[in-house]
Amino acid sequence: MGPTIILLFSGKRKSGKDYLTDKLKGLLSDKCQILKISEPIKSHWAKMKNLNLDDLLSDKEYKEQYRLEMINWSDEMREKDYGCFCRTACQNAPIKPIWIVSDIRRKTDIQWFKENYGDRIKAIRIIADDETRRKRGFEYKEGIDNVTSECDLDDYTTWDLVVDNGRNGKPLEEQLNQILELIKL
């Protein structure tokens, strides 16, 4: 037993992953649970470095400060076991009909979910134009924006849905309805 549907969200920095998945959570409420693959990474990192986990998980400057180091450390872990963080995130999550994974970043993340949950998964790409992302606080950083964790899914093509959350995007309600169409419980 497990969730009936797992929505995997991916998108570049400041495309609006947290924003859209939070809105979706607002609609689905008790039927869904948001999972973050970055949660087990951050919780391990916080323990190792004696940092405040809530600050690391939230949207503050704090997380930017440690992003590069966390990427490098988690990449080393993934080389040994590509599913390690996906597995922990799933093990820690309460069973609900719908899981929303809000931070898929790699082909191997999708691969792991496919191997373990088969066709219960739907993969959604959130896109936004550069100008919009910059307005939301995005600043290009060498070592972060040009590496695997940010770029591995740029050439993935078999998304179940692509949502434009930039200036040319459809109104929010339509975007959310498109996502709900994928669920059809």
Binding interface with ligand ATP (CB under 6 A): 11, 13-19, 59, 136, 165
Q: Is 80 annotated as a binding residue?
A: no
| Smallest separation (angstroms) from ligand ATP to the CB of 18 | 3
> What residue type is assigned to position 24 of the chain?
L
Beta bridge partners of 10: 125
**C-beta of 19 vs 66, nearer to ligand ATP:** 19
Q: Is 12 annotated as a binding residue?
A: yes
Q: Is 134 annotated as a binding residue?
A: no
Is 51 buried (19+), middle (13-18) or exposed (0-12) by CB count in 10 A? middle
Q: Is 14 annotated as a binding residue?
A: yes
| Smallest separation (angstroms) from ligand ATP to the CB of 102 | 7
**C-beta of 49 vs 167, nearer to ligand ATP:** 167
**C-beta of 95 vs 162, nearer to ligand ATP:** 162
| Smallest separation (angstroms) from ligand ATP to the CB of 181 | 19
> What residue type is assigned to position 75 of the chain?
D
| Smallest separation (angstroms) from ligand ATP to the CB of 114 | 23
Is 79 buried (19+), middle (13-18) or exposed (0-12) by CB count in 10 A? exposed
What are the residues whose beta carbons fall under 8 Å from the beta carbon of 36, sequence distance 6 or more? 57, 89, 101, 102, 103
How many CB atoms are closer than 10 A to CB 29?
A: 8
**C-beta of 110 vs 127, nearer to ligand ATP:** 127
